[in-house]
Amino acid sequence: MFRTAWTFAHLRGVPLRLHVSLLFILPLISVGVAFEAAPMLLGRLGIPMHAMTLPPLALGVLLAVAVFVGVLLHELAHALVALRQGARVRAITLMVLGGVTEIDHDDATPGQALWMAFAGPLVNLVLGAICLAAARLPLGVDLHAFLLLFGLINVFLAVFNLLPAFPLDGGRMLKAALQFKLSEEAATRLAAGLGRGLAVLGLIYGLMRGDIFLAVIALFLFTGAGAELSRVQVRAALDDLSARQAMVTRVVTVGPARPVTSVARHMLFHDAQAAIVRDHTGTYGVLLPEDLDREDAEAGDLVDGQPLWAHVEDPLGPLVREMRWRRKPVIVRDDFNTPVGVITLPEVGRAARLRRLADRALQPGGRPVESEQSGA
Ligand SMILES: [Zn+2]
């Protein structure tokens, strides 16, 4: 997902990574904190900047780094709870908009999802409370100011993330709480609707005050609601689909030693959407047109030798989950173990859309109808 990131540590097998965008945002935050946020906040707290021995820029850099430490601890809390619940965690990446933890936990119960989402803000709340309490101790003015500001940053991180809007933790918590009474789709629709409402209010307020930052955040929350809803809707539609209904069938077979340019020619000649890399000893993987990014490579160089397989009648839901996690297409075989097609994510989206439309036409507002067989 984020190729331009540097892994600086591992925790319980989870890589912790810094995205290249931090190189740009950290200096910006440092300067913003040093010359705007810190003087303003400290002024309100009765601590004039000139009373401090620390130069403003040093305080800015310290606090900018501290923000990302707060974000990292927040993400670690999500990841550790997810691991404890038996989920797979790919990585934690710190980047321009904060932190991202990639978790595969689609089968979480509402209780598990609620706890997993709350763990992040909870860490910031606790950290904020500790810092604000420690700031009451008789410490030097520099440490006092730093603890106050770091405490406030953590309280802000907790409160912001608890807003009931996707993709924030508060949105996920609301959805999980609603799922105790409603289906996942209904819960998501309700939570997404509330999130969108909040986003619209934020956007209007931001535009009225000329606050571009707030307006951008509001837009981010508005699209987050739509993304979560369509993700859940696609997943619900997959329950009634099999591998056969989401595969491309115009597929060619190529040997691992074939040059990429020749693979491209072969695919073009046969009007193929995918190429399965295999020889008499085995199958090595699938190449889609977008995978052919190295002209001087051979087909075998671009696959990892561990293809995902499915039978034509396998249910689509678990397959798609595995595809997303392993980031590769699925080869579909028939009863004779012959490859007959390849499942790609765009094909999954197409099949899910058809499934939803078909259900709506046949049984308005009702449950999915018996699956009628159709070709891919
Ligand atoms: Zn979070």
Q: Cα(265) to centroid of ligand 1, in Å? A: 47
Q: Give the span between the Cα atoms of 369 and 141, in whole angstroms.
A: 69
pLDDT exceeds 70 at position 11: yes
Spacing, Cα 95 to ligand 1 middle (Å) = 13
CA of 169 to the centre of ligand 1 (A): 5
For 321, the 3-state DSSP assignment is helix
Ligand 1 centre and the CA of 296: distance in Å? 42
Q: Distance between CA atoms of 300 and 143, rounded to whole angstroms?
A: 58
How confident is the model over 30-48, as pLDDT tens digits? 888 788 887 888 788 777 7
pLDDT category of residue 372 using cuts at 50, 70 and 90: very low
Ligand 1 centre distance from Cα of residue 327 (Å): 24
Q: pLDDT at residue 111 above 90?
A: yes
Confidence of residue 374 (pLDDT cuts 50, 70, 90): very low
The rounded radius of gyration (Å) of the Cα atoms in the chain is: 25
pLDDT digits (tens, 9 = 90+) for 129-160: 999 999 888 888 888 888 988 999 999 999 99
| Tens digit of each residue's pLDDT (9 = 90 or more) over 182-210 | 998 899 999 999 999 999 999 999 999 98
For residue 79, report the distance from its CA to the centre of ligand 1, in Å.
10
What pLDDT sits at residue 194? 93
| Range list for CATH 3.10.580.10 in the chain | 243-362
Question: Under DSSP, is residue 164 helix (H, G, I), strand (E, B) or coil?
Answer: coil
- For 57-79, how does the pLDDT look when each residue is reduced to its tens digit (9 = 90+)? 888 888 889 988 999 999 999 99
Distance from the alpha carbon of residue 78 to the mean position of ligand 1, in angstroms: 7
Residue 161 CA to ligand 1 center (angstroms) comes to: 6
Instruction: Give me the helices (H) in 45-140, please.
Output: 56-84, 110-134
Determine whether domain 243-362 maps to CATH 3.30.110.40: no
Residue 362 confidence class, pLDDT cut points 50, 70, 90: low
β-bridge pairing 98-104 and 247-248: unpaired
Distance 122 CA to ligand 1 centre (A): 9
Instruction: Read off φ and ψ for residue 279, nearest 5 degrees.
Output: -135, -165
Q: How far, in Å, from the CA of 7 to the mean position of ligand 1?
A: 20
Q: What pLDDT is stored for residue 239 in this prediction?
A: 82
Q: Give 255's DSSP letter.
A: -
Q: Determine the distance separating the centroid of ligand 1 and the alpha carbon of 174, expressed in angstroms.
A: 13
Task: Please tell me the distance between residue 97's alpha carbon and the centre of ligand 1 in angstroms.
Answer: 12
Whole-number Å distance, alpha carbon 113 to ligand 1 midpoint, is 12
Q: List for the chain the helix, strand, coil content (%; round to 5).
A: 55, 15, 25
Asked whether the CA dihedral 145, 147, 152, 153 is positive or negative, the reply is positive
- Tell me, in angstroms, the distance from the centre of ligand 1 to residue 123's CA: 10
